[in-house]
Amino acid sequence: MPKDHEGIGAGTKRREDVRFLTGAGNYTDDINVHGQAHVHFLRSDVAHGRLKKVDTAAAEGMPGVIRVFTGADFEGVGGLPCGWCVTDRHGQPMQEPAHPVLAQGKVRHVGDPIAAVVAETAEQARDAAEAIEVEIEDLPAVIDMKAALEEGATKVHDDLTSNLCYDWGFVEENREAVDKAIKEAAHVTTLELKNQRLVANPMEPRVAVGDFNRGTGEHTLYTTSQNPHVIRLLMGAFVLGIPEHKLRVVAPDVGGGFGSKIFHYAEEAFCTFAAKAVNRPVKWTSSRSEAFISDAQGRDHVTKIELALDKDNNFTAIRTETYANMGAYLSTFAPSVPTWLHGTLMAGNYKTPNIYVNVKAVFTNTVPVDAYRGAGRPEATYQLERVIDKAARELGVDPIALRRQNFVTEFPYATPVAVEYDTGDYHGTMDVLEKMADLSGFEARRKESEARGKLRGLGLNCYIEACGIAPSQLVGQLGARAGLYESATVRVNATGGIVVMTGSHSHGQGHETTFPQVIADMIGIDADMIEIEHGDTANTPMGMGTYGSRSIAVGGSAMVRAAEKVINKAKKIAAHLMEASEADVELKDGQFSVAGTDKSVAWGDVTLAAYVPHNYPLDEIEPGLEETAFYDPSNFTYPAGAYACEVEVDPETGKVEIKRFAAADDFGNIINPMIVDGQVHGGIGQGIGQALLENCVYDESGQILSASFMDYAMPRADDVPFYDVDHSSQTPCTHNPLGVKGCGEAGAIGSPPAVVNAVIDALHSGGHKVDHIDMPVSPARVWAAMNA
């Protein structure tokens, strides 16, 4: 019988924290391969220019230098591939530029790698990189997206027809109906806003170690990745031409990703390539400064949204026009973020019959942009929930009542933007929020704040997200160049212990704790009999990794399927041992028993029999107890929630302080409520960072003005309040075996609009008729808005 605090629903402490907190983790930078050399990348310090000369002669003669590489060394090598092809409004594929490992001909953003020095030490590599003579003919930097699309604008890629990657309409067939509904509406609220660019800044910067075994011809890449199998496929098949059986990719302990470690990066391909070329292991460790100019960045949308309402305040149409910044190249999944992860969510929690989303994706001379915690869904939620709040104010109606009036209430619900919500209870979740957040006590708290000279505001937000990414056939139709199933192997050892090898990857999510809870529950054994292995393509089945809140919904489902196969086989063995019919065998609390008898055998007896098959039906079943399953979801999952934020604004300085934050989420069934709390806390903290602090800013010449923590404001502990979180509102997912929905991104999606809505509410309470302030809602911006 398992310990009662270890199964599904138990708030078990994270077993991995012991090693993380005591310095016993094994991160990529901890990996040092015997004989390794070090690489330093010489990166462009201008945003746009033509390479006139890259002279490495002096550098090659520097102490410790093994070899200097330039773009010329990669002319016969594939470029970094893009994993998603978006089809535009006119049925044409997006414009897809080449993305060389090292710059060829032009540099296109500050940080674009021009050359790479491999040397005995990192310092020698850096010294030599400074000795490379580079001549760049400066070209005008393309920074502003709308200017980039003007006739005659400088082109980021000379061989493309323009800086437009695609002009996407969704759903194009809805367009006329939406235009008509807006024309005929009783009221239309319009809002123009920016969802600013962010830098992911995981605690662990990226690292890559390439190793080549000339005895076997096998390559190994150790890398900070959220999805080692994806890197193996992309890099092996599309960049370097190495077949999978000669390429092993290992992503060991990874210190946070937030999306930025999904993608295949040039440095990974370089280290793998160079290790063979110089016949030495090659290691690169990013500095924090380098991360600011080489890690894919997030968000960066400029949007106009219109919300149409009838005379009874029912939503009748939504029309949006968004400019989405791709940066200088297409990062691995960049095209999907403003389209299929954004347009499909534009219905939110509301039954709006007509929706049309237009997105123009634009190339600029900036660091590439790709998925960042929430990826497209925060951008959708932010604009929708901001415009609803503005509409409520314009119409003089209660923002909660306006939302409730328009909630989807019947499920399944097919939205006008191509997805079907399987289940939800938006009123029930809002009920939980109203009580938890003590909304009825707000006016008293506002008076108390006012007595201290502060303006208090209340901001509401509802969100829906599509998680459990993704049904492969659906995303294939939408342009994905990959399947998005997940895999698991459940290996039972002779004495009953279990190792689960999963294609999911944990980089902070706590899989090593939660996944065993599921197996413990299914078999009825202690969770500490179960270990999780992940992150190494050599010992895990091909899986797609962790992002899009998919691990428990898709990876967990694969594990359940594999465990079911194991249990079915074990029951056959148990039936043989007990001389009973297989149909009568039950498994409970780690014991197989025969219904209606006192016959039973323990889990360990059956597993031992599987590997010591002396008394075993070898004529009917194979020995051993190990099964693999691949699970492809039939739909996305749709976590939803309602958030409330209370802020105080200092009217003298414009400084915003968050006083209360309550989050009511519906994640369906929950495996470990403590870990879910932590995921929500982290997500809200990240969302507060976006709402109040973080901002990646480029000047007109393409230099990043916020390229270090001196100017890029990360949220700190004292920037965030204690959170009230509740996930008791549960409508289990109807189409996966665990009834789970995923919780990793919810906080980051749900919190920014709640914070900004609260600030706007506070300003109105002080008589400041401010419609909108772009994030980050910094003291300077609030003060400027109040004094405009």
Partner 1 sequence: MYAFDFERPSTLAEAEKALAGEDAQALGGGQTLIPTLKQRLAMPEKLVSLGAIQEIKGVCKGDDGALCVGGGTTHATVAREAAADYPALAALAAHIGDPAVRNRGTIGGSIANNDPAACYPAAVLASGATVVTNKRKIAADDYFKGMFETALDEGEIITEVRFPVPEKASYQKFEQPASRFALVGVFVAKYADGVRVGVTGASEGGVFRWTEAEAALSADFSTGAVEGMARPADGMMSDLHGSAAYRAHLVGVMTRRAVAAAS
Q: Provide, rounded to whole angstroms, the least separation between the CB of residue 550 and partner 1.
A: 33
Residues 6+ apart with CB under 8 A from 546: 226, 227, 257, 504, 505, 506, 507, 509, 511, 555
Neighbours of 653 (CB within 10 A): 11
CB nearer to partner 1: pick between 15 and 655: 655
For residue 724, what are the β-bridge partners? 662
Q: Which of 69, 482, 107 is nearest to 329 (CA)?
A: 107
- Sole binder of partner 1 in the list 713, 724, 734, 772 (CB under 8 A): 713
Q: Provide, rounded to whole angstroms, the least separation between the CB of residue 704 and partner 1.
A: 11
Strands (E), 686-786: 723-726
Report the 3 state secondary structure along 647-688. Answer: EEECCCCCCEEEEEEEEEEECECCCCHHHHHHHHHHHHHHHH
Three-class DSSP category at 143? coil
Among the listed ranges 74-82, 162-170, 705-713, 727-735, the one in contact with partner 1 (CB under 8 A) is 705-713
Q: Which token pair is 742?
A: 């995923």
Among the listed ranges 337-345, 376-384, 668-676, 688-696, the one in contact with partner 1 (CB under 8 A) is 688-696
Q: Residue 711, interface with partner 1 (CB under 8 A)?
A: yes
CB nearer to partner 1: pick between 368 and 654: 654
What are the DSSP calls for 13-24, one per residue?
Answer: PPTHHHHHHTT-
CB nearer to partner 1: pick between 453 and 623: 453
Among the listed ranges 23-31, 213-221, 342-350, 776-784, the one in contact with partner 1 (CB under 8 A) is 776-784
Q: Residue 705, interface with partner 1 (CB under 8 A)?
A: yes
CB nearer to partner 1: pick between 58 and 784: 784
Q: Residue 169, interface with partner 1 (CB under 8 A)?
A: no
CB nearer to partner 1: pick between 61 and 453: 453
CB nearer to partner 1: pick between 201 and 540: 201
CB nearer to partner 1: pick between 127 and 486: 127
Neighbours of 597 (CB within 10 A): 10
Q: Provide, rounded to whole angstroms, the least separation between the CB of residue 690 and partner 1.
A: 13
User: Cα(127)–Cα(40) distance, rounded to whole angstroms?
Assistant: 9
Q: Residue 453, interface with partner 1 (CB under 8 A)?
A: no
| CA-based radius of gyration for the chain | 27
CB nearer to partner 1: pick between 401 and 784: 784
Q: Residue 714, interface with partner 1 (CB under 8 A)?
A: yes
Q: Residue 774, interface with partner 1 (CB under 8 A)?
A: no
For residue 345, what are the β-bridge partners? none
x/- site string to partner 1, residues 597 to 636, per CB under 8 A?
A: ----------------------------------------
Q: Provide, rounded to whole angstroms, the least separation between the CB of residue 711 and partner 1.
A: 5
Q: Residue 652, interface with partner 1 (CB under 8 A)?
A: yes
Among the listed ranges 259-267, 273-281, 566-574, 710-718, the one in contact with partner 1 (CB under 8 A) is 710-718
Q: Residue 414, interface with partner 1 (CB under 8 A)?
A: no
Q: Residue 697, interface with partner 1 (CB under 8 A)?
A: yes
Q: Residue 329, interface with partner 1 (CB under 8 A)?
A: no
Residue pair 733/637 in contact (Cβ under 8 Å)? The answer is yes
Tell me the backbone φ, ψ of residue 780, rounded to 5 degrees.
Answer: -65, -40
Among the listed ranges 52-60, 576-584, 621-629, 777-785, the one in contact with partner 1 (CB under 8 A) is 777-785
Q: Provide, rounded to whole angstroms, the least separation between the CB of residue 194 and partner 1.
A: 15
CB nearer to partner 1: pick between 28 and 778: 778
Q: Which of 362, 304, 15, 9 is nearest to 160 (CA)?
A: 362
Q: Residue 171, interface with partner 1 (CB under 8 A)?
A: no
Q: Which token pair is 53?
A: 């000369």
User: Cα(362)–Cα(142) distance, rounded to whole angstroms?
Assistant: 10
Q: Residue 58, interface with partner 1 (CB under 8 A)?
A: no
Q: Residue 64, interface with partner 1 (CB under 8 A)?
A: no
Q: Provide, rounded to whole angstroms, the least separation between the CB of residue 710 and partner 1.
A: 4
Q: Provide, rounded to whole angstroms, the least separation between the CB of residue 54 and partner 1.
A: 20
Q: Residue 186, interface with partner 1 (CB under 8 A)?
A: no
Q: Residue 701, interface with partner 1 (CB under 8 A)?
A: no
Tell me the backbone φ, ψ of residue 227, rounded to 5 degrees.
Answer: -155, 80
Give me the count of residues in the chain: 788
Among the listed ranges 72-80, 150-158, 313-321, 703-711, the one in contact with partner 1 (CB under 8 A) is 703-711
User: What secondary structure letter does DSSP report for 600?
Assistant: E
Q: Which token pair is 177?
A: 């109906």
Residue pair 28/536 in contact (Cβ under 8 Å)? The answer is no
Residue pair 147/65 in contact (Cβ under 8 Å)? The answer is no
Q: Give, as ranges, the residues between 655 and 674 that touch partner 1 (CB under 8 A).
A: 655
Q: Residue 783, interface with partner 1 (CB under 8 A)?
A: yes
User: Cα(132)–Cα(427) distance, rounded to whole angstroms?
Assistant: 63
CB nearer to partner 1: pick between 594 and 758: 758
The gap between the terminal CA atoms of the chain, to the nearest Å, is 67
Q: Which token pair is 32?
A: 């040092």
Q: Residue 709, interface with partner 1 (CB under 8 A)?
A: yes
- C-alpha of 330 from chain center: 17
For residue 643, what are the β-bridge partners? 461, 663
Q: Provide, rounded to whole angstroms, the least separation between the CB of residue 636 and partner 1.
A: 36
Residue 445 exposure: Cα atoms within 13 Å on the Cβ side: 16
Residue pair 484/474 in contact (Cβ under 8 Å)? The answer is no
Place of tokens 């992503």: 251
For residue 356, what are the β-bridge partners? 319
Q: Which class for 170: exposed (0-12), middle (13-18), buried (19 or more C-beta within 10 A)?
A: buried
Q: Residue 703, interface with partner 1 (CB under 8 A)?
A: no
Three-class DSSP category at 284? strand
Among the listed ranges 132-140, 182-190, 362-370, 692-700, the one in contact with partner 1 (CB under 8 A) is 692-700
Q: Which token pair is 533?
A: 């292995």
Instruction: Please give the helix or strand (H or E) that residue 278 lies within, else none.
Output: helix 266-278
CB nearer to partner 1: pick between 203 and 710: 710
Q: Residue 695, interface with partner 1 (CB under 8 A)?
A: yes
Q: Residue 784, interface with partner 1 (CB under 8 A)?
A: yes
Taking CA atoms, 454 is separated from 181, 651, 691, in Å, by 42, 7, 20
Q: Provide, rounded to whole angstroms, the least separation between the CB of residue 23 and partner 1.
A: 18
CB nearer to partner 1: pick between 599 and 655: 655
Helix pair angle (377-395, 746-765), 10° resolution: 30
Among the listed ranges 177-185, 379-387, 466-474, 708-716, the one in contact with partner 1 (CB under 8 A) is 708-716
Residue pair 554/468 in contact (Cβ under 8 Å)? The answer is yes
Q: Provide, rounded to whole angstroms, the least separation between the CB of residue 147 and partner 1.
A: 21
Three-class DSSP category at 774? coil
CB nearer to partner 1: pick between 444 and 697: 697
Q: Provide, rounded to whole angstroms, the least separation between the CB of residue 146 and partner 1.
A: 22
x/- site string to partner 1, residues 251 to 290, per CB under 8 A?
A: --------------------------------------x-
Q: Give, as ranges, the residues between 109 and 128 that touch partner 1 (CB under 8 A).
A: 126
CB nearer to partner 1: pick between 132 and 523: 132
- Sole binder of partner 1 in the list 618, 710, 717, 788 (CB under 8 A): 710
CB nearer to partner 1: pick between 212 and 712: 712
Opening angle at CA 69, ends 65 and 75, nearest 5: 165
Judged by the rule CB under 8 A, the positions of this chain that interact with partner 1 are 126, 130, 289, 652-655, 692-693, 695, 697, 705-706, 709-714, 776, 778-780, 783-784
